[in-house]
Amino acid sequence: MVAKTLKAIRLMADFLQFIIAGTTVGAVYTLVAIGFSVIFNATRIVNFAQGEFLMIGGMSAAFLLKAGLPLWAAALLAIAVTAAVGMALEVFAVRIARGAGILMLIVLTIGAAITFRGVAQIIWDRNYHSLPAFSGTAPLDIFGASIAPQSIWVIVVCLVVVAALHLFFTRTLVGKAMRAVAADRDAAYLCGIDVNRTMLVAFALAGALGAVGGVLIAPIALIHFESGIMLGLKGFAAAMLGGIGSFPGAIAGGLVLGLGEAFTAGYLTSAYKDALAFLVIVIVLIARPNGILGKSTAGRV
C-alpha cells in the first residue's frame, strides 16, 4: 500500500517535471515563433535567420559578460545589438529584394542566416559559451519535482514579453499601424501608414525577441555559432503549428511542441523527440492546413 502510494507520488513528480521542462522549452519556442510571426505579418516573409537572432543574442551577451559588464547590462546590450542587426537586415537586404518570389525570399533569409553564422565565427569563435544562471542554480522543490530557477526566469520573462507585445500592438500607434499592415497591406498604405517603418520596426522587434530567447536559454543550453539552425526550425514549426502570424497560435504552438518533446523524451525515447515534433507538424498540416488555431481561409491559395 505504502509502496503503491510512493510509486504514485513518484509518477506524479515525474509528470510535473516533464511539464516544467516542456513549458520552459516551449516558452523559448514561443519567443522564436512570435519573432517569425511579427516579420511575417509585416512583410509576408518567413525569416529563416530568426534562429540566428537567438545565437547572436546569446553569443554577444556571453562575450560582453567576459568583457567585464555586469550580467544585466550584458543582456540588455545584447538585445539592443541584435535588434540593430535585425534592422540592418531589413534596410540592406529585405527592402532591396521586395517583390521577389517566395523562394527568392527564402534564399535571401537563408543567405542572411549563413552570413550571420560566418560573422559570428569570425568576431567570436567556434566554441560553446554559456551565461551564469540569473539567480543561482539551487533547484526549488515543488511537489517532488525540482525546478531550476532559470526555468522560472524563462517562463516569467516569456509571459512578460507576450503581455508587453500585446499592449504594444493594441495600445500604441506604431503597434496598431503594424496590425493594419498585417491585415491589409495596400489599404494600410492608402491610409497613409508608413509601410517601410512598420517593416523596420518588425525586424527590430524580431531581433530583440530572438535575443531575449538567446539570453534566457544560454544558462541552460550552451550556445555556439550554429545553435540558431535547430532553434530556428523548431520555432518555425511552432509558428506553423499555431498558424503563422497569430500570437495565440505562437504560444499554443510553442507549448505543444515543448511539452510534446518533453513527454516523448520522458516516456518514449529521447532519440526520437525531435523527429516526433516534426511528425506531429506534418500530420497537423495535413489535417488542418492553417495551423491548430489558424483561420480556415488564410494562406491556402
Binding span for other proteins by CB under 8 A among 162-170, 207-215, 255-263, 271-279: 271-279
Owner of C-alpha cell 499555431 = 242
236 sits near other proteins (criterion: CB under 8 A): yes
Binding span for other proteins by CB under 8 A among 13-21, 156-164, 206-214, 267-275: 267-275
Residues 280-299 that bind other proteins (CB under 8 A): 281-282, 285-286, 289-290, 299
Long-range contacts formed by 58-61: CB under 8 A, 24+ apart: 58/129, 58/131, 58/211, 58/214, 58/215, 58/217, 58/218, 58/223, 58/227, 59/120, 59/124, 59/129, 59/214, 59/223, 59/224, 59/225, 60/211, 61/131, 61/211, 61/214, 61/215, 61/218
3 sits near other proteins (criterion: CB under 8 A): no
130 sits near other proteins (criterion: CB under 8 A): no
Asked if 65 contacts 244 with a C-beta cutoff of 8 angstroms, the reply is no
110 sits near other proteins (criterion: CB under 8 A): yes
In whole angstroms, the minimum distance from the beta carbon of 229 to other proteins comes to 7
Among 18, 29, 53, 116, binds other proteins (CB under 8 A): 116
Burial class (CB in 10 A: 0-12, 13-18, 19+), 119: middle
88 sits near other proteins (criterion: CB under 8 A): no
81 sits near other proteins (criterion: CB under 8 A): no
103 sits near other proteins (criterion: CB under 8 A): yes
Binding span for other proteins by CB under 8 A among 96-104, 162-170, 248-256, 258-266: 96-104
What is the CB neighbour count within 10 angstroms for residue 89?
Answer: 26
Residue 129's DSSP bridge partners are 223
Name the nearest CA neighbour of 63 among 104, 111, 19, 123: 123
Q: Which positions lie near other proteins, rule CB under 8 A?
A: 46, 93, 96-97, 100-108, 110-119, 121-122, 229, 233, 236-237, 240, 244, 271-272, 274-275, 278-279, 281-282, 285-286, 289-290, 299-301
